[in-house]
Amino acid sequence: MVQTRFKIGNVTVRLIQGDITEQDVDVIVNAANSYLKHGGGVALAIVRKGGEIIQKESDEWVKRNGPVPEGEVAVTTAGKLKAKYVVHAVGPKFGDPEGDVKLRNAIRNSILKAEELGQSSIALPAISTGIYGYPYERCAQIMADIVKELSPSLNNLKEIRVVLWGQEAFETFRRIFHEKL
């Protein structure tokens, strides 16, 4: 397995090249849209492997609460995945003038939600870098900053895993995380 590891206090930060649906962690973060319609990308992979229960709970969530604003998160169970929860994070589309702030919030709120749920490990994808068009480099910079900033204050979370699909994404994240952590 291609991976690299950093340590910030008690928190292990791991970058892995692979499939997020295969990860043995408590919380898997999904790169979702505001309506939680998981029709493509990592979202579709999560529903395919976790089962329709994830889409069903997502639909119920939106019916109850309305669409999830960009930068915010919603929680469902994880169906047949190894994880206990899926945190659906809504990232911005590249080109949005408020995009960087929203992406930062989406990542931050995902980590804080896992912490609040009392879980010890989380896996995040490179939110907004697929269908939403963000460059890997920009996402990596934002993610490295927020991980560095939050880690010292985490009590429950012991591992933050970033799961990158493909070599280009992995190499870019590795370079940026080495620079920043």
Q: Summarize as ranges the residues that interact with ligand AR6 (CB under 6 A).
A: 19-21, 31-33, 38-43, 45, 91, 125-132, 163, 165, 169
- CB nearer to ligand AR6: pick between 140 and 157: 140
- CB nearer to ligand AR6: pick between 147 and 153: 147
Closest approach, Cβ 131 to ligand AR6, in A, equals 4
Closest approach, Cβ 82 to ligand AR6, in A, equals 14
Closest approach, Cβ 4 to ligand AR6, in A, equals 16
Contacts 24+ apart (CB under 8 A), 71-75: 71/101, 71/102, 71/103, 71/104, 71/105, 71/106, 71/109, 72/105, 72/106, 72/109, 73/106, 73/109, 73/110, 73/113, 74/32, 74/36, 75/113, 75/117
Q: Burial level of 24, CB count in 10 A (0-12/13-18/19+)?
A: exposed
Asked whether the beta carbons of 107 and 115 are under 8 A apart, the reply is no
- CB nearer to ligand AR6: pick between 69 and 152: 69
Closest approach, Cβ 22 to ligand AR6, in A, equals 8
- CB nearer to ligand AR6: pick between 52 and 156: 52
